[in-house]
C-alpha cells in the first residue's frame, strides 16, 4: 500500500512539475518574442506615411522680382541708396551693388513631400547652382527617409559635400532643405516649429528696423533702426565725415531714446572702423555691423581691443557652428547674426545659439523673417529680431519675402506675435510666382 501511495504521489508531482515547466517554457518563449519585438520593431502603420517621397528644387522667373526680393528696376531704397560694399573700392562698381551681380544667383525654393502628399517649403539664395546640388546630390539622402531624422539628414548632406562645400553655396542648399524638413515635420505633427524646438520663451518678439530713414521706424513702434553705411575707405576723409553727418542727422530726428546702428556690409578695414567708431561716440551708436570681410577674424580682434563705445556684430555671411566658433572663441563680437536661410538652416542655428550661450553672446539673426521669428521665440539668448522696411524711402511695411508667401507674419507696433499654425505657418504663393524646376530628376 505504501508503495502504491508513493507512486501515486510521484505521478501527481511529475504532472504538476510538467505543467509548471510547460508554463515556464511558454513564458520564456513569450519573453523571447517580446525581446525580439523590442530589438526589431515592426513599422507602426501610423508612421508608414511619414517618409519622404519627392524633393523638388525651383527657381523663380517673375516680372516683378527675380528672387522674391526687389528687382534691380524697382524704386526701393536698397536699389536707390548709396550703400558701401566690398566692391566699393573699384570705381566702376562703387555706386550700384547690382552692377557687380549681388543678386545674380537668385532664390531657390525647395519642396519636400511625404507619402501622404503633405509638403514642406524652404528657401535660400543659391539659385540654379543650389537647385543642381539639391536635385543631383542631396536628394539621394532624403528620399524614403523619415522627416523627423533631421540631424542625420543634415549631417549626411554636410559630410558628403565637404570636399566642395563647408561654406557658401553648399551650405545655402543645405539650409533650404533643412527649413523645408522642419516645415514638413511641423505639418505632420500639427505643431508650429517653435513648439518643436523647446517652446516659446517669449510670446512677442521686439523688433528693430533696417531703413535709411530711422524716423519712420520710430513712428512705427520699432525700438531702434539700422542704417546702411554709405561710404567706405575708398571715399577718403570726405566720405568718413559724411557717414558721421548722416548719423548725426538721424540722431537729431529720433532723439536720445531711440537706438541707432550702422550696417557696414563687409566694406571697411581695421583703421577705418576704429576711426569711424571714435567719431561716432557723441551720436551713441549701439553697434557697428559686419565692418570687415568675414574671414578677417584677427582684424575683428584688433577692432574689439580698440573700440569700447559700441557693440560689434557680425555673422550674416558666416556659415555653420564651426565658422561662428571662430568668432566666439576670439571674444571679438557682442552679437552673432546667422542668416537662417544661409548658415545651415534651423538645425545648425540651434547649435550656433548653444555655442553663443556658453560665451554669453546674443544671437540676433540676419533678416530672414518667419524663419528667424520661430528661432528667436524659442531661444533665451535671442532678445529681439530684425525687420527690413521696404519702400523708396524705407517707409513701407510689407512682407520681408515680398510675394513669396501669402501669410508671412507682420509686425504691429514694432513687435511680432507668431500664429499657432503648423510648421513655419506660411503658404507658398504659387499664383504670383513663375516657378521653374531646372533639374527635374
pLDDT digits (tens, 9 = 90+) for 141-170: 999 999 999 999 999 999 999 999 999 999
CA distance 376 to 197: 11
Q: Sign (positive/negative) of CA torsion 149, 144, 163, 125?
A: negative
The answer to whether 382 and 363 have CB atoms below 8 angstroms apart is yes
Mean pLDDT of 250-261: 98
Residue ranges and CATH numbers for the domains of the chain are 51-191 (3.30.390.10), 195-425 (3.20.20.120)
* Active-site residue (options: 94, 231, 366, 374): 366
**Band (33; pLDDT cuts 50, 70, 90):** very low
pLDDT tens readout for residues 361-409: 999 999 999 999 999 999 999 999 999 999 988 998 999 999 999 999 9
- pTM here? 0.88
pLDDT tens readout for residues 316-351: 999 999 999 999 999 999 999 999 999 999 999 999
Query: Which grid cell sits at 162?
Result: 565637404
CA distance 386 to 206: 9
Q: Catalytic annotation on 366? A: yes
Give residue 69's pLDDT: 56
The answer to whether 251 and 283 have CB atoms below 8 angstroms apart is yes
The answer to whether 287 and 273 have CB atoms below 8 angstroms apart is no
Alpha-carbon distance values, 89 to 78, 266, 300 (Å):
19, 12, 20
Amino acid at each position: 500500500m505504501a508503495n502504491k501511495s508513493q507512486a501515486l504521489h510521484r505521478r501527481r508531482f511529475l504532472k504538476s512539475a510538467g505543467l509548471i515547466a510547460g508554463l515556464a517554457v511558454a513564458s520564456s518563449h513569450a519573453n523571447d518574442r517580446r525581446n525580439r519585438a523590442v530589438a526589431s520593431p515592426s513599422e507602426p502603420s501610423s508612421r508608414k506615411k511619414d517618409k519622404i517621397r519627392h524633393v523638388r528644387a525651383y527657381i523663380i522667373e517673375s516680372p516683378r522680382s527675380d528672387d522674391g526680393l526687389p528687382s534691380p528696376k524697382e524704386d526701393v531704397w536698397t536699389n536707390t541708396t548709396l550703400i558701401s560694399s566690398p566692391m566699393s573700392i573699384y570705381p566702376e562698381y562703387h555706386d550700384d551693388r547690382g552692377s557687380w551681380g549681388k543678386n545674380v544667383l537668385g532664390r531657390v525654393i525647395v519642396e519636400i513631400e511625404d507619402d501622404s502628399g503633405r509638403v514642406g517649403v524652404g528657401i535660400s539664395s543659391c539659385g540654379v547652382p543650389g537647385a543642381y546640388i539639391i536635385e543631383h546630390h542631396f536628394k539621394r539622402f532624403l528620399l524614403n527617409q523619415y522627416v523627423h531624422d533631421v540631424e542625420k539628414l543634415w549631417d549626411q548632406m554636410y559630410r558628403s559635400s565637404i570636399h566642395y562645400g563647408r561654406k557658401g553655396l553648399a551650405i545655402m542648399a543645405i539650409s533650404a532643405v533643412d527649413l523645408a524638413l522642419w516645415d514638413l515635420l511641423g505639418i505632420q505633427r500639427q505643431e508650429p516649429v517653435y513648439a518643436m524646438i523647446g517652446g516659446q520663451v517669449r510670446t512677442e518678439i521686439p523688433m528693430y528696423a533696417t531703413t535709411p530713414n530711422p524716423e519712420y521706424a520710430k513712428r512705427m513702434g520699432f525700438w531702434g533702426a539700422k542704417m546702411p553705411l554709405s561710404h567706405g575707405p575708398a571715399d577718403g576723409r570726405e566720405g568718413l565725415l559724411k557717414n558721421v553727418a548722416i548719423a548725426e542727422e538721424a540722431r537729431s530726428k529720433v532723439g536720445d531714446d531711440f537706438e541707432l546702428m550702422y550696417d557696414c556690409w563687409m566694406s571697411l578695414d581695421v583703421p577705418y572702423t576704429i576711426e569711424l567708431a571714435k567719431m561716432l561716440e557723441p551720436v551713441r551708436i549701439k553697434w557697428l555691423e559686419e565692418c570687415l570681410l568675414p574671414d578677417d577674424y584677427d582684424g575683428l580682434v584688433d577692432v574689439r581691443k580698440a573700440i569700447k563705445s559700441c557693440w560689434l556684430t557680425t555673422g550674416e555671411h558666416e556659415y555653420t557652428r564651426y565658422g561662428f566658433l571662430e568668432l566666439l572663441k576670439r571674444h571679438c563680437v557682442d552679437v552673432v547674426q546667422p542668416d537662417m536661410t544661409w548658415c545651415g538652416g534651423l538645425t545648425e542655428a540651434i547649435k550656433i545659439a548653444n555655442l553663443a550661450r556658453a560665451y554669453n553672446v546674443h544671437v540676433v539673426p540676419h533678416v530672414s523673417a518667419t524663419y528667424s521669428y520661430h528661432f528667436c521665440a524659442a531661444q533665451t539668448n535671442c532678445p529681439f529680431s530684425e525687420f527690413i522696411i521696404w519702400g523708396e524711402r524705407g517707409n513701407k511695411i510689407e512682407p520681408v519675402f515680398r510675394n513669396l508667401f501669402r501669410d508671412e507674419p507682420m509686425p504691429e507696433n514694432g513687435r511680432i506675435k507668431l500664429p499657432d499654425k503648423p510648421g513655419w505657418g506660411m503658404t507658398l504663393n504659387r499664383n504670383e510666382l513663375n516657378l521653374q524646376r531646372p533639374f527635374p530628376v
